[in-house]
Structure 1
Amino acid sequence: MATDDIQKRLHELREEIRRHDFLYYVKDRPEISDGAYDSLFRELSRLEQDHPDLITADSPTQRVGGAPLSELVKVRHEQPMLSLDSIVERADILAFDQRMKRELQAESVGYTAEPKFDGLSVELVYEQGAFTRGATRGDGTTGEDVTVNLRTIRSLPLQLAGKSGAPDRLVVRGEVYMRLADFQSLNRRMTERGEEAFANPRNAAAGSLRQLDSTITASRPLAVTCYEIMGQSGPPIRTHWDELDTLAQWGLPAPQLRRRCGSIDEVIAYHQETEAARDALPYEIDGIVVKVDERNSQERLGFKSRSPRWAVALKFTPRKEITVVEDIAVSVGRTGTLTPLALLRPVEVGGVTISRATLHNADEVARKDVRVGDTVKVERAGDVIPAIAERVPVPGEQRSEPFRMPDHCPICASAVAREGAYYYCTGQSVCGAQIKGAIEHFASKAALDIDGVGRKTVAQLVDQGLVRSLADLFVLTKPQLLSLDGFADRSSTLLLEAIERSKTVALDRFLMGLGIRQVGQHIARVLAKEFGSLDGVMEADAARFQQVLEIGPEISASLASYFSEPHNRAVIRDLRDRGLVIIEVRNDQTHASQTGLAGKTFVFTGGLRDFTREDAQRAVEDRGARVASSVSKKTAYVVAGEDPGSKLDQAKKLGVTVLNEREFAELLKGQA
C-alpha cells in the first residue's frame, strides 16, 4: 500500500473510531457491535505499529496512558474556577430570582437549568481544535496538570469535530465523574481483592484522575461532561443555552438533561422532575445548577469573591438510611475468609456517605434474606462499621434470586471450603487477595516487624510483580523500590535495612507471621515453647498438636493442614534459602520448670518505659510463668508501671507482691 493510501486509511479509521466513541460514550447510541468496533481498532493499531512515524497525538490508540509521573505539576488557570453557592429550600430559590430581577431591573429573568454532576471539576484547553492541556480545579486559581490522565477518558474528544467551526483557542470547564454501574463494578473488583473500596462515585473519580500512573487512570471507567466556556478566541456566544448547544456541536459531551426555563416556576418544576428521576439516572447527581441565561446579564451581575452572582446550586434532599442493594460482592481476606458485602447506592448515614455494608457471613444473609435489588435500611454499627439493619419491603416488587456463596474463590478460582458459619478460599499463597494480606501480616509489628512494609507498599510490590511470595521480600533491590510510587533513595535504603534486620527472628514471631488460621500471638508462643524449633513444629501431626495444653481440635487441624500443604513448606524452604534465621527456644519446658518463676502468674498495669507489653509478657512466659489480665489471690506479682490503674489497688487489697519496673528487670535477670 502506497504511503498516501496508508495515510488516507489511517485518517478514515481515526475519524470512524472517534465518531463511534462519541456515539457510545456521549450519546449512548452505539451504531455497531463491540466486535465491529474492536476490529476497526485492531486495524488502526496494526497500521500504526507498521508505520510508527504516522502516529498522531490525537489518535484513539494514544489513550492507554504513559510512563508514571514523579508528581503532578501545578498550573495556573486561564481564569478563576469559582464554586457555587448552594441552597435547598424553595424560599431560597425564589429569593435568588427576586435578587436577579432587582439587580437586572427586569420583570422576568430567563434561566438555563442543568444537572449538578457529583464529580471532580476540570479545566480543558483546546488549541487549533486539539486537546493540549487539562487541570484539576485545585484552589480555584491553581490546579494540577492531569493532561495525560484526561487523555485516557473515552468521552473526551482529543480533537474537536472537524467541520464545527471551533475557535483556534478554547478553554472549557467540565466535570469528571463515574457512572453508577461502572462505580459498582470497580468497587466489586476492589472488594473481592480485599482492597478498600471507594465511598462514592465522586471519590472514585477524584482518586482515579489524580493518579501519577496514567495506566491506572486508563483502567478506570471515567467519563466527562462539559458545561461552561471559560475562554475562547473569536466572538462570545450570546446565551448559556446556546453555549451548551455549541459545545455539543464541537463534539464535547454537554449535559443532555438541560432545560431552558422562562421563569423561576419552570426552574422549580425542573428541579422536582429531576429529583424524582435521580434514582433512575445512570450517574450520580446531587442537585441542579441554575444560571441566568443571557451572557450580557451575567457580566452585569458579576462575581463575589468565591462564586458568581448569576448562578446557584439547588441541591436535592440527601438520601438518608434507606437505599438499594445494587450488588452483593464477596471479599477475600488475608486468611482466605470470604465475607459477603452489600454494594449500595450511596446513602448518607450519620453524616457519612456509605456505599457498602457488611453482611458478615452466609448465615446472616439468609437470616435477613437480603438480595440484589432489595431496598434496605442501613445503620452504622457502633457508629463505625456500616451494616444492613433490615430489608424494607416494597409493594409489588419482584425480587431476585436468594444470594449464595460462590463455590470458587472470586480471585484465584480455587475451591471454597466451609468452616462453621464461614467460608474460605483454599488457595492460600496462590490467591492474589491472600498474598497481599499475607505479606502485610508477615511484615507486621507482631511478626517480623519490617518497618515500611504497609498496605500501599505491599499492593505496589504485588501489582508490579516484584513480590509473588513471602520469600521475594528478601531479594528486593534498590532499583526495584525506586520504581514504586512514593519511594526515593533514602526511603528505599531504610526499607532494605529494615528487611535485612528482620532476617533473624524469634520462632514465635515467625509462626505468627505465617498467618496460619487460628494461630495468633499467644498460640504461636505456646507452640514455640512446646516444640522449641521450627522443624519440631513442622514434623508434628494433628494428634501431636492436640496433646499441647491450650490447643484443641480446630487449631490442631488448622496447623496440620497448613504444614501438610507442599506449597507452604516450599515457601518456608525458600525463606530459609534466602537467609532467614529462626531463633530456636532454648528455655525448653524442663529448663523453664526449674526456674523460680515456673507456674507463677503475673499481671501488668500501667506503662513500662524499657519494655513493650509484648516483650515483658514474652520474658515471663519464657521462664515458665504466665500472664493474666486480672488480679486474684493466685497472682504472684503485679508489675506496676507509670499511671497504674485499679489493678494496683486490688493487688494491695489482696496482699499481692507489687514490683516496679526496675525490680521486675532485676527479677528477670536473677532468673535468666
Structure 2
Amino acid sequence: MSGEAREIESYSEPEAKAELDRLHEVLTKADLLYHQQDAPEMTDADYDALKLRYQMLETAFPELRGPDSLSGKVGAPPAEGFAKVRHAVPMLSLAKAYTDEDVQDFADRARRFFERDKDLKLVFTAEPKIDGLSASLRYENGVLVKGATRGDGAVGEDITENLKTIADIPHKLAGSGWPEVIEIRGEVYMTYAEFEALKERSAAVGGQAYVNPRNTAAGSLRQKDPSVTASRNLKFFAYAWGYTTADPAPAQFDAVQKFGAWGFKVNPLMIRASSIEELIAHYHVIEEQRSSLGYDIDGVVYKIDDLELQRRWGFSSGEPRWAVAHKFPAEQAFTTVRAIDIQVGRTGTLAPVARLAPVGVGGVVVENVTLHNEDYIAGIDSNGLPIRGDEPIDIRVGDTVVIQRAGDVIPQIVRVVLEKRPADAVPFEFPHVCPVCGSPATRELNEKTGKEDSRRRCTGELICPAQAVEQLKHFVSRGAMDIEGLGAENIDVLFNSGLVKTAADIFTLRDRRDQVQAAFAARREEQSRLRDEAAGKVRKASRSVEERSFQGLDKLFAAIDARREPELDRFIFALGIRHIGETTGAVLAKTFTSMDNLRAKGIEAASVGGALHEVFPSVNGIGDTVWEALRDFFDNQRNVEVLDRLLEQVKPRDYVVTVSADSEVAGKTVVFTGSLEKLTRGEAKAMAERLGAKVAGSVSKNTDIVVAGPGAGSKLKDAQALGILVLDEDQWLELAAK
C-alpha cells in the first residue's frame, strides 16, 4: 500500500493525517468483515501490521488522535437483528508479540514495574490462543442467564439461546464455591473434523461453501434458529472472566482450574511458568502440536498469574498490561504427512499430492499440498541439486513438515523436520504405471537439453478415464466452450453413466433426453438421501422440485446448442492440446483462420515427422514446443477420429482478420479488467484487435484505455493513479462503434 514503506519520522502533519485517515478506513472495514460479517479479506498478520502502523502514527502525532481513535477499540459494533448486551466489564483485546525478543520485552516491563517488591518472584501462565469467537456467559447463583458476543468490546449481541446449545457450556454450574454472580469468558470454536463433516454435508446437497472453521463457528452462533447452531456441534474453552462478585481464586491458573470443576472444558495445554525460557519453550511445544490438536490456534497467551499483581499493573490503550499474545508466524505451521496420493490430469500428468493432518495457516485449513513431481519428493531440482537443505531431503509418509501458504494462497512444504521422522518411514516409490488405467507412465526426453521432463505422464491418453473426464471438464469450462450449466459435477454424472465419453457426445444429449433425465434423477436421489441422513429425517421431493429440474434440463440443452458455432480460438483452446492455452489458441486462430486449415496442416506435419518448419509458418510467439504438440496430437489417429466426430456437431466460426485503421481506437493500447457482461473476454479482445488496437494484460504508462467491469481491482487503481482513460463496458462499445 502506498506510504507504508516510509519512515514515520518523515511525515509532515498533513501527510500523517492523510495516512491515519486511510488506515482508519481500512481497519474499520476489516473489523466489520471479521467481527460482524465473519468474512475477513486480510490475514491476521496483515491486519496486525496495519494496526501497529496506525498506533505508531498516533504516538508520533498525538495531536491527531481523535475521539474515534481505533487504538483503544476492539471488534465491531453488534450486528443488527440481535438484542444488545452491555458488558459490565469490557471485553478487551491483547497486545501482540511476534518474536522471542518481544516476549522478553514483556517480561522486562513487568520486572521494572514491580522492581520495588523485593524478593518478588513473577509467575506466568501460558495457554493456546484459540482462533474462534469470544463469548461472555453470565451466571447468577450458578445458573446461566445471559450469553453475548464480544461485539465492539463494550456492547455485544445477545445469543443466549444459541450458546445454550453448546454441550461444553453448562446451564447450571457444577460443584460449589462459585460467586453469586460471575461472567465466564472463553472462545467458541469448531473442530476440523466437524468443519469437514459440515462441508461434506453441504456439498452433497448443493449448499454453501464454507471457508474456514473460525468464520463458520461465528456464523453458526449468529443463526436466528438455535437448532441450526445445535447441528454444528460447536465447542467452548473457558479461560477468563469479566464481572464477578468474588475472585474465583487468587491466581489465574487456579481460577481456570476452578472453571473445570464447575463443568467447563479448559485447555489441557495451559501451564504455569517461572521464567521466559519456560514460556518460549512451551510456545514451541504448542507450535509443533498445532496440527494434531484438531482445532485452530494462532498463538500462545501469556499472563501474570497473580490476580493482585494483574490489578496493580492495570491497563493501557484498551489492553491489559499483564498479558500478551505470542502469535505464530502467520504463513507457517507444523503438520504431518498422512499419505501421498497420485492424481492424473487431463494431459496425463501424474501429480503427487500430500494428504496432511489438517492445520490452520493464514485463516484457512490446509489438508492437501501439491508435491509437484517425483524429483520434488526426492528433494532435488531439475539439475539434481538439493532444494531443502544442503543435502537432498525427501518427503515421506509420517514426516513432520513445516508448511506455508505462498503469497497467502498456495500451500507448500518448506521444511522436513528430520529429527521427528518415524523410524519405519520409507522413501516414497513413484509409480511407473498410471494408477487409473494401468498404462505405462513415462518421463519424456527433451531432445534439445538431453534432460528428462520433470513430470511423469500416463501414455494411455483417451483410453485413460482420468484423462478423458478431465479433458471433458476442460472442454466445457469458462475459458473454453463455456457451456453454462455443464460444470464439473454434471460432467462426472454424465461420464460415469456412460452418456458422454468424448466431446461430441455432449451435442447429442438432447436426443437421449430420457437417459440424461434418469442419470440426473439418480444423482438427485443420492443427494436427497445424504440430505436426509444429515437432517435425521425422511423427506420427499415435491412436484415443484421435479418440474424445476425438467426446466433445468431444457436450459442445459439450450446452452449446449448455443455453442455449436464457437469462436475459433475458443474451440482450439477447448481441444486441450498440450502446451496450447488461451493466448496460443488465439494466435493459432489468427494464423490459420479456420479449423479446416489447422487440421490439414496438423495432419501434414504428422506425415513428415520432424520437418516441422517445412509445414508450419514462422509465427511470432509460437516456438517448436507448440508445433511439436500439434504434430503429436494429429499423429494420434484416435485424436483425429474424436475431432472429426466433434466437427460433425460443431462448426467453429472462421477467424476474420479485418483491421480498421480509421477507428477511434486504432493504434491504442487497451486493457480489460473486471467482469464484462455483454462480451466474453475473448470477444472483447477480438473486437479491439479488429479495430486496430493492441490488447495488453497489465496497466503501464503506455496504456491508453482501461475498460473496467464490475469487480475491477488493482488494474483500475493503477489506471486511476496514472490518469489513464477509464471506460465501462457500455462506453467502450459506444467508442468502438464510432
Q: Could you state the TM-score of these two structures normalised by the residue count of structure 2?
A: 0.47
Q: State whether residues 123 and 171 of structure 1, in contact with CA within 8 Å, keep that contact through their aligned partners in structure 2.
A: no
Q: Aligned residue for 1:81?
A: 91
Q: Which of 413, 420, 427 is the equivalent residue of 1:402? A: 427
Worse-superposed segment, 171-180 or 610-619 = 610-619
- 1:600-621 C-alpha deviation (Å, 9 max, x unpaired): xxxx98535999984488689x
Gaps of 5+ in 2: 1-78, 203-208, 381-393, 443-454, 501-505, 511-515, 525-553, 608-614, 617-626, 660-665, 673-678, 703-736
Residue 186 to residue 244, structure 1, CA distance change in 2 (3 Å): same
Residues 501, 345 of structure 1: CA spacing in aligned structure 2 closer, same or farther, 3 A cutoff?
Answer: closer
Residues 403-552 of structure 1 mapped to structure 2, 5 A cutoff: 403-404=428-429, 415=437, 420=442, 421-422=455-456, 442-448=476-482, 504-505=562-563, 506-507=565-566, 508=568, 511=571, 516=576, 518=578, 520-521=581-582, 529-530=594-595, 552=630
Partner secondary structure for residue 312 of structure 1: strand
Aligned length: 489
Following superposition of structure 1 onto structure 2, how do residues 195-214 of structure 1 map, counting pairs within 5 Å?
204-211=212-219
Instruction: Kindly provide the amino acid, as one letter, of the partner of residue 555 in structure 1.
Output: F
Shift, 1:248, TM fit: 0.2
Give how far 1:86 is off: 2.9
Q: Contact 2:300–2:327 (CA<8 Å) still a contact in 1?
A: yes
Q: 1:113 Cα shift?
A: 0.2
Describe how 1:29-428 pairs up with structure 2 within 5 A: 76=84, 78-79=86-87, 80-87=90-97, 88-89=100-101, 91-101=104-114, 108=120, 111-125=123-137, 137=150, 139-141=152-154, 156-157=168-169, 159-160=171-172, 171-176=183-188, 204-211=212-219, 223-231=235-243, 235-239=246-250, 240-260=252-272, 266-275=274-283, 277-278=285-286, 279-280=288-289, 282-283=292-293, 288-314=300-326, 325-330=336-341, 335=346, 339-342=351-354, 357-366=369-378, 368=380, 369-374=394-399, 387-388=412-413, 394=419, 398=423, 400-404=425-429, 415=437, 420=442, 421-422=455-456
Residues 258-305 of structure 1 show CA distances to partners (whole Å, capped at 9, x for unaligned) of: 3446xxxx1425314413533256437665433344445544544333
CA distance in 2, matches of 1:562, 1:133: 71
The residue type equivalent to 1:251 in the other structure is: G
1:54 corresponding residue in structure 2: none
In structure 2, the CA distance between the partners of 1:543 and 1:161, relative to structure 1 (3 Å rule), is: farther
Q: Distance in 2 between matches of 1:446 and 1:311?
A: 56
Q: How much does 1:400 deviate?
A: 1.0
Instruction: Give, in angstroms, the shift of residue 227 of structure 1.
Output: 0.2
Cα gap change, 1:173/1:414 in structure 2, threshold over 3 Å: closer, same or farther?
farther
TM-score (normalised: structure 1): 0.50
Deviation sequence 1:392-424 (CA, Å, 0-9, x none): 754996251222468999xxx965766543467
- 1:577-615 deviations in whole A, cap 9, x for unaligned? xxxxx7624659xxx9xx999xxxxxx985359999844
Distance 1:532 1:277, change over 3 A: same
- SS of residue paired to 2:256: helix
- The Cα offsets for residues 11-69 of structure 1, whole Å up to 9 and x where unpaired, read as xxxxxxxxxxxxxxxxxxxxxxxxxxxxxxxxxxxxxxxxxxxxxxxxxxxxxxxxxxx
**Pair 1:361–1:556, CA change in 2 (3 A):** farther
Correspondence for 1:65:
none
Query: Measured at CA, do residues 387 and 530 of structure 1 come closer, stay the same or move farther in structure 2, by a change above 3 Å?
Result: same
1:427-469 alpha-carbon deviations (Å, 9 max, x no partner)? 99x999998997687352453286xx99xxx79999999xx99
Aligned to 2:60: none
* Structure 1 SS opposite 2:319: coil
Q: 1:222 to 1:93 in 2, by over 3 A?
A: same
- Match for residue 607 of structure 1? 669
Q: Evaluate the alpha carbon distance shift between residue 596 and residue 638 of structure 1 in structure 2; reply closer, same or farther with a 3 A threshold.
A: closer
> 1:81 touches 1:140 (CA, 8 Å); kept in 2?
yes
What does 1:548-627 correspond to in 2, within 5 Å? 552=630, 554-556=632-634, 560=638, 584-585=651-652, 607-608=669-670, 614-615=682-683
- Identity of counterpart residues, as a percentage? 25
CA RMSD of aligned residues (A): 6.9
Contact 1:414 1:427 in 2 (8 A): no
For 1:177-217, what per-residue CA distance to the aligned partner results, in whole angstroms no more than 9, with x for missing partners?
Answer: 57789999999999xxxxxx99xxxx843133244698999
Q: Would you say the 8 A contact 1:77–1:123 is kept in 2?
A: no
Partner of residue 43, structure 2: none
* Contact 1:532-1:586 within 8 A present in 2 as well: no
